[in-house]
Amino acid sequence: MNDKEFFKYKNLLTPEKGRLLISEPFLPDPNFERTVVLLCEHNEEGSFGFVINKPSLVKVNEVMEDMKQLEETVFIGGPVQQDTLHFLHRNSQIENAVKIRDDIFWGGDFESLLTKLDTSSLKAGDVRFYLGYSGWGPGQLESELEEDSWIICDYVTDELLFDTSPEVIWRKALDSMGGRFSVYSNYPVDPRLN
C-alpha cells in the first residue's frame, strides 16, 4: 500500500454545524493546505465556515477603526469575500450571536461586542476575527469528501479555537482522533523529505 492509498480510509462522521473539517495531508489547494475549518452551517443549500488556523499579517486595530485597543491578529477565514470581517467568540451574552457548539458562537450585534470589550466583560482572547470565509455550494462539500479532501472531526472545544497556537491546531485536531489520524498528524508536508 502506498502513502496515498494509506490516507484514503474514510472516517465515519458526516459534516454538520459545529464539526471541524481537517484538510488531508495531501490536499493540493493552497487555500486549504493543512487547514482546519469550523463548520458554522451545513444544509441542502450548502456549507460555510472559517479556517481557524491561518493567521494573516494584520491586526484587528489595523482593519477596524472602532477597535483601536485590539492588537490581536486577524485570521484568514477562507477565500470567499475576503473584504468581509467575521468573528467567533465564547460569550453567550452578545446579542443575536449564533450558537455553533457549547461555548462557541458566531457573530452577533457588533455594538454589543464593542460594549463587552470596552467594559472588559469580554476579553480580547475570547474573540477571533476572520477576513472572508470558506463556502461550498449545494453538494460541493460532499463531492470534496468523496475525493478524500477532508477529514471530519468532532473534537471541537473553545480551548482549541481560542487558546491553542494556530500552528498546532491542525496537528492537535488530528491527534485527538487517535489511531491512524495520529499518524496523519505527524506526516511531513513533503513526504520526499522524510
Question: What average pLDDT score do residues 15-24 get?
Answer: 95
- Expressed as residue numbers, the domain containing 67 is 3-184
Find the CATH number of the domain harbouring 10. 3.40.1740.10
Residue in 41, 54, 11 with CA at minimum distance from that of residue 101: 41
CA 8 from chain centre, in angstroms, equals 22
Q: Is 180 within the bounds of a domain?
A: yes
Q: Is 190 within the bounds of a domain?
A: no
Full-model pTM: 0.89
The per-residue pLDDT of the chain, averaged, comes to 88
| pLDDT surpassing 90 at residue 155 | no
**Longest CA pairwise span in the chain (Å):** 58
- Mind listing the pLDDT tens digit for each residue in 74-125? 999 999 999 999 999 999 999 999 999 989 999 999 999 999 988 888 898 9
CA 100 from chain centre, in angstroms, equals 12
Q: Is 16 within the bounds of a domain?
A: yes
Q: Is 58 within the bounds of a domain?
A: yes
Alpha carbons 115 and 7: distance in angstroms, whole number? 47
Q: Is 193 within the bounds of a domain?
A: no
Q: Is 14 within the bounds of a domain?
A: yes
Q: Is 173 within the bounds of a domain?
A: yes
Number of domains in the chain: 1
Q: Is 49 within the bounds of a domain?
A: yes
Alpha carbons 31 and 6: distance in angstroms, whole number? 24
